[in-house]
């Protein structure tokens, strides 16, 4: 799969809702899964309350259409990395398709800014969109491997 994505450092401005976007061509793949690690950085406690993003909303779009929300998740709000895994296999429109976009929106309450204008951020790491090759792709790959082995065998017999 070919993919590209935007910055993963978020919530570093006064905007309480920052997004990231993954653009991918899933042609030849189905059974998609989205996986990444995230952590709150510059986490600051004030009056025993951790400041920063509280939720992540994941949306999808295909072919430049409108975004559809998959789910909104509550974030673990500490300074450690946490794994995020989302099964996308049930969304037929993005399986084996071009022009797929996956969008994440970190959200918080604007009142959660830290006095002095410092804002916590979210770090995104190890982003993966995994999929299972479609049967036609597997057959094509198998044919290529078989042809390479056959050619290799022929060369060996010719040398002996």
Whichever domain contains 76, its CATH number is 2.60.120.200
Contacts (Cβ under 8 Å, ≥6 apart) of 15: none
Residue 52, CB-side half-sphere exposure with 13 Å CA sphere = 24
Model pLDDT, residue 155:
60
- Within-domain flag for 151: no
pLDDT digits (tens, 9 = 90+) for 101-131: 999 988 775 545 555 445 566 778 888 899 9
pLDDT digits (tens, 9 = 90+) for 36-94: 888 876 555 555 555 667 788 999 999 999 999 999 988 887 778 899 999 999 999 99
Three-state SS for 83? strand
CA distance 142 to 17: 46
CA distance 133 to 76: 33
Among candidate residues 83, 20, 85, 75, the one with its CA nearest the CA of residue 52: 75
CA distance 111 to 58: 23
CA distance 15 to 58: 18
Distance of CA 137 to the CA centre of its chain: 23
- Within-domain flag for 7: yes
**How many domains does the chain contain in total?**
1
- Within-domain flag for 140: no
Model pLDDT, residue 12:
47
- Within-domain flag for 160: no
Report whether 64 contacts 58 (CB < 8 A). no
Give me the domain span that covers residue 109. 2-133
**What pTM does this model have?**
0.71
Lookup: tokens for 131: 């999929």
CA distance 123 to 2: 23
CA distance 108 to 122: 11
How does DSSP classify residue 136?
A: H
């Amino acid at each position: 799969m070919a993919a590209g994505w935007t910055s993963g450092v978020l919530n570093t401005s006064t905007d309480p809702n920052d997004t990231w976007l993954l653009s991918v061509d899933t042609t030849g793949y189905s059974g998609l899964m989205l996986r990444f690690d995230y952590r709150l950085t510059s986490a600051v406690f004030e009056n025993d309350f951790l400041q920063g993003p509280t939720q992540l909303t994941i949306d999808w779009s295909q072919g430049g259409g409108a975004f559809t929300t998959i789910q909104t998740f509550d974030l673990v709000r500490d300074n450690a990395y946490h794994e995020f895994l989302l099964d996308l296999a049930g969304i037929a429109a993005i399986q084996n398709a071009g022009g797929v976009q996956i969008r994440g929106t970190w959200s918080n309450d604007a009142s959660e800014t830290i006095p002095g204008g410092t804002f916590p951020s979210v770090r995104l790491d190890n982003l993966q969109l995994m999929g299972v090759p479609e049967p036609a792709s597997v057959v094509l790959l198998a044919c290529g491997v078989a042809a390479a082995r056959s050619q290799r065998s022929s060369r060996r017999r010719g040398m002996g």
